[in-house]
Structure formats: C-alpha cells, structure tokens
Amino acid sequence: MTDVTRHEPGSFCWAELATSDSAAAKKFYTSLFGWSFVDSPAGPDMIYTMLKKRDRSVGALYNPGPTQGGAPPHWTTYVAVASADDTAKKAKSLGGKVLAEPFDVMEFGRMATIQDPQGAVFCVWESKKHIGVEIVDEPNTMCWCEVDTTDPASAKRFYTGLFGWGAKDSETYTEIQLGGRSIGGIMKIPKDWGAVPPNWLIYFAVESCDAATRRASELGGQAIVPPTDIPNTGRFSVLRDPQGAVFALFQLAARG
C-alpha cells in the first residue's frame, strides 16, 4: 500500500475538480476509478465532495457556480508548502501572479492560488487538519503532475526557484524531482495540439491504460491522446470527461 500521512514541502498533495455538474462528475469518476464519495456543505448553496479509495481521500470535486468567473471545468493540482504566505510572496518575486491571496480554509489548512509566468494555474497548500491525498502511486490514485507550457525553460526557472525542485532534462521533457525522486514533469505544448493554454495536467495510475480509456469512453468521456507507449516507462492517455475537464491515465511498465 502507498498510504500517506504527511506531504513533504514541494510534494503534489491534492487533486481537485471544479465541474459544471457535480452529480454527473461523481457518476463518471466513481464508475471509472471505483471511488466512493462523501458530500459536505461548503458555504451557501455549495457542496464539497471528498473522493475516497479504501475510505482514504484521493481528491475532491465541487461546482463553483459563478464564483470562478465562468472558468470551464478543470482539475487543479496543489503543492504542499511550509508557508502559503511566504510561497505567494516568492511567486510574485519570480514573475508569477497570485490570483487568490493566502487564506484559511477553516481549520483544515491555508492556501493560495498562483499563476505562473506562462499562465498555468496551481494552488499551494499549508496543511493543518487536512494533509491532502492519503494514497498515491497505486491504481486509481494520483501518480504524476505535469505542466504543459509554451516556454519550458522559463517554467523550469520559475518552479525550481519557487519549490526548490531538481530538474532532470532530456531532449523533449524535463522531470521534476524532489529529494532526487521524479514526481512530475515540464513539457512544451506540441504545435499540433492547437491553441491549448499552459496548464497543469494530473495523471492517475491505472492497471490497464487501454481498458480504463475504453471505460472512460463508454461513460461519455473522450480520448484526446489515445493510449500511447512511453519507452521503458509505461503507457498513458489523455482524456476529457463529459463536462470538459482534462486529465491523464498512466500504466507503469511491467518490471522484469
């Protein structure tokens, strides 16, 4: 098992879906990943849904209504930090924009929403009672986060400066490293993707990328990138859920 009780600063710690139809999203993701869920009130006319595996949190979803300025459905990645306030200040000094200044989320933690210099948006989380995801790197849980960007070199400078990440470069991809372990990546948006804005893409581990991609299609999702091999690594696909939020699947290559 890959249970988590604490996220080191710089770790990807939470996956959160803002959707236009919470009921439909719950049906899609619970059917795709076998998750259960718990609904909780989160202010006037808003329900925050905790997504669970083995009764442990693996993410959340909610319908923001008009509060997010009409943003389309999307997944947001959170990065654990020691201080949301200090990280927000540092992001500004590195050329980022703080879209939501640090604020307390009741007794659960403190957060801020930040946009990098190319426009990709993410959140930082200073945990109190809520650490974030409680399972990672096993089937149907978050396993990787990747920023797709127009300027990988600039993104690398920003994020390594902000979080102290290491970077392992190859010809077409940069692996983000924390404590010498790769936890995510930086990739230039291919020209054939069209007018895709810089964004953070969350990957969920699956036992079979092909089977999970077929299941997502049966449930009303769409494959943007069909199951594709990553040599000596695994197999992945990129999907759009029925409301339009984009996420990815990853199947680790068999060892030996």
Q: Which of 47, 49, 46, 51 is nearest to 30 (CA)?
A: 51
The 10s digit of each residue's pLDDT in 165-204 is: 999 999 889 999 999 999 999 999 988 877 889 999 999 9
Name the superfamily (CATH) of residues 12-127: 2,3-Dihydroxybiphenyl 1,2-Dioxygenase, domain 1 (3.10.180.10)
Q: Give the residues across from 60 on adjacent strands.
A: 16, 50
The per-residue pLDDT for 68 is 56
Q: Do domains 12-127 and 142-252 have the same CATH topology?
A: yes
CB of 7 within 8 A of CB of 131? yes
Which ranges of the chain have pLDDT less than 70? Answer: 1, 66-70, 255-256
The amino acid sitting at 124 is: V
pLDDT value of position 67: 58
Residue 133: what residue type? V
Q: b/e string for 116-153 if b means 16 or more Cβ within 10 A?
A: bbbebbbbbbbbeebbbbbbbebbbbbbbbbbbbebbe
| Domain 142-252, CATH among 3.40.50.300, 2.60.220.10, 3.90.340.10, 3.10.180.10 | 3.10.180.10
Complete edge-to-edge strand list for the sheet that includes strand 12-18: 36-41, 47-53, 56-62, 12-18, 74-80, 121-127, 109-115, 97-105
**How far apart are the C-alpha atoms of 32 and 112, rounded to whole Å?**
30
Give pLDDT, residue 69.
60
- Predicted pLDDT of residue 196: 87
Q: Which residue in 238, 152, 156, 149 sits closest to 197, CA to CA?
A: 149
pTM of the model: 0.95
* Domain residue limits, the chain: 12-127, 142-252
